Amino acid sequence: MPNVKVVNVSKTFGDGKIVAVDNVSLEIYDKEYFSLIGPSGCGKTTLLRLIAGLIPMDKGAIYIDNVLVNNMPPEEREIGFVFQTYALFPHMNVWENVTYGPHIKAWEEKKASALGRETLEMVKLYGRSEAFPNELSGGMMQRVAVARALAAGAKLLLLDEPLGALDAKIRNELRYDIRRLVKDLGLTAIHVTHDQAEAMAISDRIAVMRKGRILQVGTPYDLYMNPQHLFVANFIGESNFLEGHIVDVQQDFTTVRLRGGVTVDACNAKARKKDERVVLVIRPEAFTMQKGWKKTANGITGTIKRVSFEGTTTRYEVYLKTEETVIVTRPSLAEQPLPVNEKVTLTFQPEKSHIFPYPLLGLMEELKSE
Amino acid sequence: MGKQAKIMKSLDKISSNSILRSGLYLATIFFFVAIILIPTVLGIALKWNLLSTVFENPDLLSRAMNAVGASFAIAAFVSVIDLIAGVPTAWFIARGKSRWLNVLDTLCDLPFIIPTVALGYSLLLFWDSPLGVAGLFGGSLLSPGWLLIILLHFVFSFPVVVRVMVGALLDYKYVYEEAARTLGAHPVTADRTVTFPILKPSLVGSFVLAFARSLSETGATIVVAGTFETGVVFISNMNTPENQAIYGQGPLVFASLLLLLIAVIIFGVIQLFGTRLKIPIKHISRSFEKKASGKKVVRLRDGATLFTLFFLILLPALFVAVTALPAIQDGTLGNALSGSVDQTGKYNWGAYWQSLLVSYFVGFAATIVNVVAGLPMAILIARNRMGKQLSSVLDALVNIPIIVPSVALGVSLRLFWANFPFVPELLLIIMAHISITYPYFVKSLAAAIMRVDPEVENAARILGARPFGVFRTIILPMVKYSFFAGAIIMFTRSISETGATVAVISPTSSLLTVPVLLVQWIRPLLPSGTTTAVGVSSAVGLGCGFLILFSILILLVLRLMMRGKGRY
């Protein structure tokens, strides 16, 4: 079973004017379900196509199963690729699509048929073998595309936004189906998506890309709990960003003065210096919320401006005295919802916050997805 | 509110009336059936009683059968080599990355815009005179005959294949090929098993167009045929005053009917079974296809493609320009510009300019009539305005003028309109050109309208636009490119048309279009019983040169008008 190593790979388009992949290095382990996520145009699909050999790279090296594949055409890389549009051959029925790989590789007819049947049963579509792609629903087409890739003997499955064109409910079902298949068959999978929730739900590890570079690689938990970049904190889940200056750096915590002179204790930020301009990042669920304006430790006061009931949680937009708005989410069942215009005090535990130096190009620019 | 806005508003209002809309569509169908379809086939069909002349003369019957057989054999062979050469050229243009490919793409169109009669003479000079490549081989490399006909038909039908296939390749979703590659297919395997089967309708379509073009071309074929007879050459030979006096119209009708019937049967079979052909994907030699996908083979293929394009198509097609050069020194240019007759009395430049005017007048008239009459027909077909079945039938019937050989079509039109003696000859020529060019516009525009999502129309209607308003403000801007492209094809086809014009005008007529006049000028230069070498005349070179030059200039103007009329 293959691992994949990407070493200093770059790819530009338009005579070098557009840098799609910028000196990227990455290792994907054997049997790992790995996701590449990032906003549109960040280079994730380009990186996947480089791994597949569908486009040539400008520089760098790619190894699949420890074999350098830079000059190896896609047909010899033993990969399976599931395209965003599925790319089912319109002139072939489901059976012909799925057995295409075994046939053109001139495998024995018996083996080809067995593989076709096995993979179609795996995706629960054996009964639709005679159907043509235009007779299938989006979810079915997606499953045929996966079956086709598997029947061709792929050990490395590359998935380019395979669920992007499906509705939310089917997408949620199919993402677990794909993961289960990959794990049952012991494959390595690289899954490209812009949907962070999808990546978080199914991946062993995730790489977050932006502007052709990989910002952070880690488990979903790592990325959520310990983002190393402001962009990652914003892209994975939801975060509040409060501007401030460091007042004091202690052993276990750092004191930050926010706008309007409010001081709070935040996480340990030993690398930061006194008076440095910083951004304090707090997840919406990290806040606790009390009625009324109270003088409590690590408290910030504000007024609720909007309340949205979202089922499991209730979401509040709170306008702070610092003249910034933060999002607060609270469990719906555990707490009685508070009304709009209610004066509230927000508190948080310092270790559940993150401090980042204020970006050179400004906070908005740093958080921008495009 | 301006006058124009008022008219548009009135038309918008009128278009809401469903009875008037139906009336317009019925009038369109009537025009098509009465002016294009019936005269195209009925003229010959009604004269079936003349066939006895041929059946009573076994030699003539055999000659006609052989000629028609040769037409189909040549058309089939040419269409196959067109695909063999045209598809790699289209591939090279569509898949390449060089900025020069745009130039190459335009160059591929050149044989299409050069009037075929000039093309025929140019090929003859290139292959059969000491001036051309034949000079390297003792003066004549290829004499007029079947081989030169094949080369000629290859030259003028090649752009059709390239044009259709470049379009098809640009529209083709490359992702299918990528999918095949990731499933283990070498590039050649992916092309054989995925790309070509998906492009099959375009391959069949381009084959049909090349076949029809080869089958129906007359003017240039006469020039390079020598004593060899194809169906159209036979018809043309039988159209001379001498042969008319001996045989009457029987041989014309016989050959035309035979060409028409066999063509209809062949195209019917191709339409029915062509797209059902399945290419098996099993039992392949992987090592062979891997080698065939290699860089060396691809380079070799590209090299052969470029060689074919430049040395077998472009150079022979443009060679006639060489003979126009002496015209500057020998006084021919002066004669031409003053519109006088040259010293030998052979070349009447006054008649040339008049025929040029006739050609452009006929071209513009046919184009305008077809734009007006073809527009509602295109909508009718594309949007099933009067039911899906009727649209399908009309879609199939519109092809008939394309598949009927133009000379046969001309004969049919002449015989049909002979029943109406009040129809002047100029109108007859225009009618013939309308019939021949009508399908090019309707097919091109209908295909473009089909590509427009009907939801866009619905959105406009919901926002308050009336049917004509929807067409004017939404559909037309979206299909402008195809609209102008269809008009250009009609115009160029009309300017270069020879066969039908020769057939509709009476053998003694002085009303000539420029290709017909050039045929008369070129004929004495062709090898005949007494001379074996092709004659060279700076007047003919200049005559062809002017026609090419003006055609290119008009095309450039039309292309400039098209600029910015983007594809959506």
Q: What are phi and psi of A127, to 5 degrees?
A: -65, -15
Of B176, B197, B281, the CB nearest to A104: B281
- C-alpha neighbours within 13 Å on the C-beta side of residue A362: 3
Which residues does A contribute to its contact with B (CB < 8 Å)?
52-54, 73-75, 77, 79-81, 83, 85, 87, 89-91, 96, 100-101, 103-106, 148-149, 152-153, 158
Interval B82-109 mean pLDDT: 84
Report chain B residues whose CB lies below 8 A from the CB of A83.
Answer: 175, 178-179
Of A85, A104, A152, the CB nearest to B175: A85
| Residue of B480 and B297 predicted with greater confidence | B297
B183 touches chain A (CB under 8 A): yes
Q: Where are the domains of chain B?
A: 18-562
pLDDT digits 0-9 by tens, B358-411: 999 999 999 999 999 999 999 888 888 788 888 888 888 888 887 777 777 777
Report chain A residues whose CB lies below 8 A from the CB of B182.
Answer: 52, 54, 74-75, 77, 79-81, 149, 152, 158
Asked whether the beta carbons of residue B193 and residue A85 sit closer than 8 angstroms, the reply is no
d(CA A176, nearest CA chain B) in Å: 24
Confidence of residue B530 (pLDDT cuts 50, 70, 90): low
Asked whether the beta carbons of residue B184 and residue A106 sit closer than 8 angstroms, the reply is no
pLDDT of residue A364: 87
Q: Which of B63-67, B480-484, B538-542 has the highest mean pLDDT?
A: B63-67
Asked whether the beta carbons of residue B185 and residue A149 sit closer than 8 angstroms, the reply is no
pLDDT of residue B566: 44
Asked whether the beta carbons of residue A89 and residue B180 sit closer than 8 angstroms, the reply is yes
Distance between CA A219 and CA A236 in Å, rounded?
A: 12
pLDDT of residue B562: 61
Q: Look at the block and give the residue holding tokens 């004549």.
A: B140
Asked whether the beta carbons of residue B184 and residue A105 sit closer than 8 angstroms, the reply is yes
Q: Look at the block and give the residue holding tokens 């052989």.
A: B66
State both tokens at B411.
Answer: 């004969």
Of B176, B181, B194, the CB nearest to A73: B181
The least confident of A234-238, B10-14, B124-128 is B10-14
Confidence of residue B341 (pLDDT cuts 50, 70, 90): confident
Asked whether the beta carbons of residue A105 and residue B193 sit closer than 8 angstroms, the reply is no
**B175 to chain A: nearest residue by CA?**
A87
In CATH, which superfamily holds the domain spanning A4-232?
A: P-loop containing nucleotide triphosphate hydrolases (3.40.50.300)
B195 touches chain A (CB under 8 A): no
Asked whether the beta carbons of residue B178 and residue A83 sit closer than 8 angstroms, the reply is yes
Of A53, A83, A105, the CB nearest to B179: A83
Q: Where are the domains of chain A?
A: 4-232, 238-353
Q: What are phi and psi of A16, to 5 degrees?
A: 85, 0
pLDDT value at B137 more than 80: no
- Domain covering B18-562, topology: MetI-like fold (1.10.3720)
Interval B164-169 mean pLDDT: 82
Confidence of residue B528 (pLDDT cuts 50, 70, 90): low
Q: What are phi and psi of A34, to 5 degrees?
A: -115, 135
CATH for A238-353 is: 2.40.50.100
Confidence of residue B130 (pLDDT cuts 50, 70, 90): confident
d(CA B285, nearest CA chain A) in Å: 8
| Residue of A233 and B336 predicted with greater confidence | A233
Distance between CA A51 and CA A54 in Å, rounded?
A: 8
Of B179, B197, B200, the CB nearest to A81: B179
d(CA A149, nearest CA chain B) in Å: 7
Cβ distance A308 to A257 under 8 Å? no
Distance between CA A149 and CA A79 in Å, rounded?
A: 8
For B270, counting Cβ atoms within 10 Å of its Cβ (0-12 exposed, 13-18 middle, 19+ buried), the class is middle
Report chain B residues whose CB lies below 8 A from the CB of A101.
Answer: 183-184
Report chain B residues whose CB lies below 8 A from the CB of A77.
Answer: 182
Would the CA dihedral through B403, B407, B413, B419 be positive or negative? Answer: negative
pLDDT of residue B567: 42
State the helix-helix crossing angle for B425-451 and B349-382, rounded to 10 degrees: 40
Q: Look at the block and give the residue holding tokens 């935040």.
A: A266
pLDDT of residue B532: 63
ipTM of the complex: 0.80
pLDDT digits 0-9 by tens, B494-508: 888 887 887 788 777
Cβ distance A249 to A278 under 8 Å? no
Q: Which long-range contacts (CB under 8 A, 24 or more apart) does B246-251 make?
A: B247/B53, B247/B57, B247/B60, B248/B50, B248/B53, B249/B47, B249/B50, B249/B411, B249/B415, B250/B50, B250/B51, B250/B52, B250/B53, B250/B54, B251/B53, B251/B54, B251/B60, B251/B64
In chain A, the DSSP E strands lie at 4-13, 18-28, 33-37, 59-64, 67-68, 79-82, 156-160, 188-193, 205-210, 213-218, 240-249, 254-258, 263-266, 277-282, 288-291, 299-309, 313-320, 325-331, 343-347, 353-357
- Residue A67's identity, in one-letter code, is V
B199 touches chain A (CB under 8 A): no
Mutate which of A99, A104, A155 to disrupt the B interface (most B C-beta within 10 Å)?
A104
Cβ distance A231 to A292 under 8 Å? no
Confidence of residue B275 (pLDDT cuts 50, 70, 90): low
pLDDT (tens place) for every residue of chain A, 370 residues total: 689 999 999 999 988 889 999 999 999 999 999 999 999 889 999 999 999 999 999 999 999 999 999 999 998 898 999 998 889 998 899 999 999 988 888 888 898 899 899 899 988 899 999 999 989 998 899 899 999 998 988 889 999 988 877 778 888 888 888 898 889 889 999 999 988 889 999 999 999 999 999 999 999 999 999 999 999 999 998 999 999 999 988 888 899 999 888 889 988 766 778 889 999 999 999 999 999 998 888 889 999 999 999 899 999 999 998 888 999 999 988 888 899 999 999 999 999 999 999 998 888 888 887 6
For A64, counting Cβ atoms within 10 Å of its Cβ (0-12 exposed, 13-18 middle, 19+ buried), the class is buried
Of B175, B184, B197, the CB nearest to A87: B175
Report chain A residues whose CB lies below 8 A from the CB of B292.
Answer: none
